[in-house]
Amino acid sequence: TQLLEQSPQFLSIQEGENLTVYCNSSSVFSSLQWYRQEPGEGPVLLVTVVTGGEVKKLKRLTFQFGDARKDSSLHITAAQPGDTGLYLCAGALSNTGKLIFGQGTTLQVKP
Amino acid sequence: EAGVAQSPRYKIIEKRQSVAFWCNPISGHATLYWYQQILGQGPKLLIQFQNNGVVDDSQLPKDRFSAERLKGVDSTLKIQPAKLEDSAVYLCASSGTSYNEQFFGPGTRLTVL
């Protein structure tokens, strides 16, 4: 059974703080996606990383794919209340079209 | 480009009743997924279609859940009879791009009383 362990599960921080969310697996993924989900909505794709060691930046968000393509991290700099939501990582299994989702990280950024 | 459409957005039923959800994927996307999501957790795959064929339904509780995608476009997911533990958000997603990128609809929140 492929698993994607995501941590932490919950994070409550003050506006302006930095944070990092981790996703780890023993499986190798062909790509990995990060999603953000707000209450009452479906997950929205933030980024896809494909190459081992790849780093992508989206404004204050930095995504990294591990060299072995088994793990990933999301770093948010100077968090804002608008960053509040459920962050999901999902690893893609090659040739199956299937995503393995992490358990999610609920982030609350207080003003 | 229109996103994934789902209806209804909310549904409240009593246990042992039946319910159906509808999904229309992004135009041209061959792969369609139904997920079940418990509040605050990651989505759990129920079934994956490629065009109108089932690719993976290993986690679909087939004694009560069924799904179809007859013309390879829109899809319906049915629960009959519903149980209390079926209360969740049911998400539909579609994919037609490389890297297994999936695009989600807004979901249907089901409450079983």
Give the Cα separation of A48 and A69 in Å (integer): 12
Indicate if the pLDDT at residue B45 is higher than 70.
yes
Please, what is the average pLDDT of chain B?
Answer: 94
Q: Chain B contacts of A103, Cβ < 8 Å?
A: 41-42
Indicate the residue of A40, A92, A106 with minimum beta-carbon distance to B40: A106
A104–B42 C-beta distance less than 8 A:
yes
Q: Which residues contact A100 (CB under 8 A, 6 or more apart)?
A: A2, A3, A4, A25, A27, A29, A90, A91, A92, A93
Return d(Cα B53, Cα B67) in angstroms, integer.
11
The alpha carbon dihedral of A40, A59, A4, B92 has a sign of positive
pLDDT tens sequence across A29-57: 999 999 999 999 999 999 999 999 999 99
Q: Give ∠ CA B53-B58-B60 in degrees, rounded to 5.
A: 90
Q: How far, in Å, CA of B4 to CA of A104, rounded?
A: 22
> Which residue type sits at B108?
T
Provide, rounded to the nearest whole percent, the portion of chain B with pLDDT above 90: 85
Across the interface, which of B31, B55, B104 has its CB nearest the CB of A42?
Answer: B104
